[in-house]
Each structure stands twice: as C-alpha cells, then as structure tokens.
Structure 1
C-alpha cells in the first residue's frame, strides 16, 4: 500500500508522514518543493497534467482542503485506482453540512465532491490548532512578550500530532470509512495560560500585552480569512464545551498544550 500525502510541508501532514513511516507504510509526499528524507513528487493542484504521475501506484490519499483543481484530481485518482481519501477539514463545518462562513465554505467545497466521488472517504474536522500559537513566535523571541486580544478567553487547543493520528487511522484502518470525525483538544485554556505554558517550556517569563479588538483585527487579517469570526468566538467569554478528542479514535490520551509547548521549544527560542 502506497499513501500519497499532499501539502507535505504542513504541520499535520508532516506528522502523518512520520507516523505512517514509523508504521512501515510506503509514503509518497506531494509538494511543490522537495521534502528531505521522504520520497517526494511535485504536485500543484493548478497543474492537472502532473496528477497521473503523482498518483501512479497510490491506493490512498491524504488531502488538505484546496478546492482549486479538486474535480480533476478526483478524476485522476479514480483513474489511478485510489481506494480512499482522507481530508483534513474543519470543525467549522456544521454536522448538517451548512456553510455559514468562509472557512466552512472552503472546506465544504472539497468535502462535497469527495463525498460524491464514489470513493470511500474520511473527513477529519479538528477545532482550534495548538499551532495557532506560533503567531506569537516573533514577539516572544524578540521582545519576550505577546500582544493578544481577550487574553482570558478560553480555547481548546489540539496538538497537530493528535490530528495526524486520527488521519492515519482513517488512512490505514477500517473504522472511519465514510465518516466525518470531529476532534477537539483535551483541556480548555485561556490564552494567558497558554502563554505561561510556553514560558515554562522555554524557561522565560513572557509578558502579556492586551490589544484592542481593532488592533487584533488588523493583525489577524494578515493571515486569516474573516478574522471577525475568531474575535467573536474569543469575545464570547464562554468556556468551550468539551468535544471528542483523538482518544476516542486512538485509545490513547490526547496530548496537552503543555506537551505541545515542550515539543515546540525550538520555535520559541
């Protein structure tokens, strides 16, 4: 069995590749740029002429949500004999398939053609990535502080390795076929507490500077579609209700944010 992992430089994809490789599965990493240590094929969803080569001999595919070129990619995958798709989707997608914002629409634009393809599928729908905290990296390294709006707002961050474990189960197991799996973090934490945990991991005190909503909007808009959705969620002030963690799929406890911080010490040092 050969598994094609697209978006191979992404945080979840890197963990998918590592976990599959550790399990002895033949992995082909798809990226616009070569990836060290793994068989890599160039794959650009805007260039369908490269699909056949990337998919030759592949039985299963891990996908990031990129709607451009998805119909041509699905057709090429079916022609190549692909037996299963696992998509990294988003908890923004309503269980009833409603698309109320840009994030859910972006992911549904890939979910829907996969669902209609006739090829078995699994949609992994994680909530808040712990890796969102990497947006604080530069100010922590250079200024020993974090500028953040609503510092006491609660979120439920998920370690990317846990998301990857669910995806790997979808790729290699039989229990998640034609299933959308929601994945949440193990513990609600305030943003302030996340910053403290990063500080503990790197052995440094990190100051918290509170931003206004307007200042935060300007900062988030540089890398996030519809930043008002994130700001509204944080402003709500409610402790997020617990959702299913990766443990429901893997049987292993989900990783804490404290563990995530330890795993990413190099990013903040």
Structure 2
C-alpha cells in the first residue's frame, strides 16, 4: 500500500509538467558507460516509454562509445580521441557502424517490450542526418568524422504522428553516399533544433558540470551561455564535457527552449 501511495504521489507531482509538455518534442541523448549497465539503460528506456504514454513526444538519440571501444580492443585497433571526437579511420568506421546498428536494434526491441512502439533510424535506414566530412578539427584530420550538414525531419515527424518513439543512431550520410561518424551530442542538438523541440536532455555518467572535479558539492545547477567561455578558459569544462556544452549552445542558439546535462544513472532523473 505504501508503495502504491508513493507512486501516486509521484504522478500527482508530475502532472503539471505532463500538462506543460503535452505533445511537445523532447530529445533525449544517452550514451557512455550507461549503455554498459543493463539496469541503468532499462531505467532510461522505462522513462522514455512513460513520456510516450502520457502524451509527450520523446525522441531518443544514442551514442555507443564504450561498446565501440570494447570491440576495437578485441580487434587490436587503436582507440584515439582528439578534442572529444573519435579519430575514425576506415576500419574504425566499420566497427562504429556495426556497434551502433546493434545498439539501435536492442533499444528498439526493449522499448517495444516495455509496451510502447519504437522504430530505429540510421544512415542505412530512414536517414535523418545529412553530413559532410569534417576535414580539419582544430588543425587535424580525424578521418571519417562528419559534421551535420542538414537534418531531414520528415521520417521523425511521421513516426511521432503514429505515436512511435524514434530511436536515432548518430551516423550521417554524405552526398556521395559515404557514411560518417557524427558526435552524438551534436547530432541530438541539431535534431532538437530542426524539430523545434522544447527540451534537449543529454544524459551522462557524471552529475554534470562541476566547478571542482574533486568536490561533489560543486555542481553547477544552472548556467548561462555567456558564462561558458570563462569556464572553458579556466579548464572547468574538460574533455568529453566540451562537445556536450557545445551541443547545448548550438541547440539554444537555434531555438530550443532549454537544455540539460544530467546524470543518467539517477533513477527518474
């Protein structure tokens, strides 16, 4: 009985938010070590299904870094990043495509098992991301890494109209048919902007942006775009957090109302 009352209280507390975001698109990006923890990913997908049930329009964009790294290690391939972007040669690209495709299918299957309807979208099927090669990244060629040239929103809109949850892999396709590895945070930001999403939520495996990495109580709960340059200069924002912050800025500048970087490991976050 107590658990039933607690669940009812949670729903009652959520009602104003459910009403506010009814029929609005919310882009959620998950990735990182979350994808290696079945309990965490199950909680995230349950939340996605709940959002769908109560009339929101969740769109899930996923990365796959740790899974890709595991496969690269098995094959003896070099793992290299430059300014938060994966250096992607031809062999690495093949592995990226394979692992992202497998993850996409797994997530679609799990969402369907949880009671909602989901469909995967990637460069191979229902392509959403049009890309061009990122020839230089801070002065370096990093291989088959792309930037988002355009977003084709129609496949996503059609799924939302049928009450499906779109599950999108961050692979882009160029004019010549070449597939490119796209940073998942930036892909999510561009998708959110093109679809006029109300929110962009980037799930990570840390609490968020910390003023002091050694102090768990130094979480920055709210941040304005104007403050970011100073935090970058002082190296408060580092490594993998840099693409996330850049993605949030891009989304906000293109009309997304709010962006969030939150710990995906916290249930119901």
Question: What TM-score does the superposition give when structure 2 sets the normalisation length?
Answer: 0.33
Higher relative contact order (CA 8 A, sep 6+): 2
Q: When the two structures are superposed, what TM-score results if normalisation uses the length of structure 1?
A: 0.33
